[in-house]
Amino acid sequence: MTSHDHPTPTDSDVCYRHPDRTSGVTCQRCDRTICPSCMNQASVGVHCPECAKGNKQKVYNARTLPGAQGTVTKGLVGVNVAVWVLTIAALGATINSAGTVFRDYGTSGWPIVEDGEFWRIVSGGFLHSGLFHIGFNMYLLWVLGQQLERILGEIRFLSVYLVCLLGGSFGALLLTPNANTGGASGAVFGLVGLTVLAYRSRGIGIFDTGLGFLIVINALLSFRSGVSLGGHAGGFLAGILLGIVFFGLNPGDGPMFGRDQRKPLLVTAFLGVVFIVGSVLAATQAVDPDTLFR
């Protein structure tokens, strides 16, 4: 008959708060050994009681995750609707017509070049010509925006929306610099492009969802008289470029910069500057509207 001696636990094998308890678990932050009684579950690993008290790491759930409430999407819809109501109440628009609002505040090349009204590059993205126009755009913004905001978070989603808006303005000025354009369509088409890449990164084809049909319908509508093809195309291109940054081009690629949170925002800001500069340069193609009818 033989006997086996049990090894005496070392300091690294026992809980630092309960020396009589052995454990093989260490705190994720300070690496001290802790027993089950001292474990505090964190988003990654477990923490000891002291680190748990001073832990600045915020633990999120499905309801508190940044973007989960769709706050930015709701805010953008609210701003667009408020501006539309304002144009009807104070600027001469009607429920079915923009009146002179596009001419006075829309994206148009000549006022940008001649009068330095660079704000038109942005203001046009918040103007609408009637109930159907704003209703259709806000429906797409509501549906696509909440999905993307949940994935990207509030700050990144707002950033990509604004850059897609700028991309739409650039496309509109590039193709029709003398037109007076308005609407959130450029930004919304950018969200369509982003959603395509978001689905693709997960191996989901756009025609496996309702998005494929939606894109086809919107593409066809882009060729209607009075619709800014350049605005739609420019916004969509911006969305595709940003989609590559945030989701990757092909299934399995992943984000362009991995888990880095800063570089995607820097690229987004850079694209925004490119579209602003491009819009100003494209506006120089415009000619004095008075000469068009001579």
- Whether 29 and 79 map to the same domain: the answer is no
Q: Which domain holds residue 15?
A: 11-54
- Whether 151 and 216 map to the same domain: the answer is yes
Does 79 reside within a domain?
Answer: yes
Q: What pLDDT, on a 0 to 100 scale, did the predictor assign at position 67?
A: 58
- Whether 34 and 136 map to the same domain: the answer is no
- Whether 50 and 138 map to the same domain: the answer is no
- Whether 145 and 202 map to the same domain: the answer is yes
Name the residue among 241, 232, 288 with its Cα closest to residue 264. 241
- Is the alpha carbon torsion for 82, 192, 147, 139 positive or negative? positive
Contact in structure between 161 and 149 (CB atoms under 8 Å): no
Does 63 reside within a domain?
Answer: no
Residues 6+ apart with CB under 8 A from 108: 102, 120, 124, 177, 178, 179, 180, 181, 286
Q: What pLDDT, on a 0 to 100 scale, did the predictor assign at position 52?
A: 77
- Whether 18 and 88 map to the same domain: the answer is no
Domain count for the chain, please give it.
2
Confidence of residue 1 (pLDDT cuts 50, 70, 90): very low
Confidence of residue 43 (pLDDT cuts 50, 70, 90): low
pLDDT at residue 112 tops 70: yes
Does 136 reside within a domain?
Answer: yes
Query: The CATH number of the domain where 274 resides is what?
Result: 1.20.1540.10
- Whether 223 and 252 map to the same domain: the answer is yes
Does 218 reside within a domain?
Answer: yes
Does 60 reside within a domain?
Answer: no
- Whether 49 and 150 map to the same domain: the answer is no
- Whether 135 and 191 map to the same domain: the answer is yes
pLDDT at residue 50 tops 90: no
Does 62 reside within a domain?
Answer: no
- Whether 43 and 88 map to the same domain: the answer is no
pLDDT tens-place string over residues 220-261: 877 777 788 899 999 999 999 999 999 998 888 889 998 888
Confidence of residue 9 (pLDDT cuts 50, 70, 90): very low
pLDDT tens-place string over residues 52-68: 776 544 444 445 445 56
Arithmetic mean of pLDDT, 269-294? 89
Does 230 reside within a domain?
Answer: yes
Does 28 reside within a domain?
Answer: yes
pLDDT tens-place string over residues 125-168: 999 999 999 999 999 999 999 999 999 999 999 999 999 999 99
Confidence of residue 293 (pLDDT cuts 50, 70, 90): low
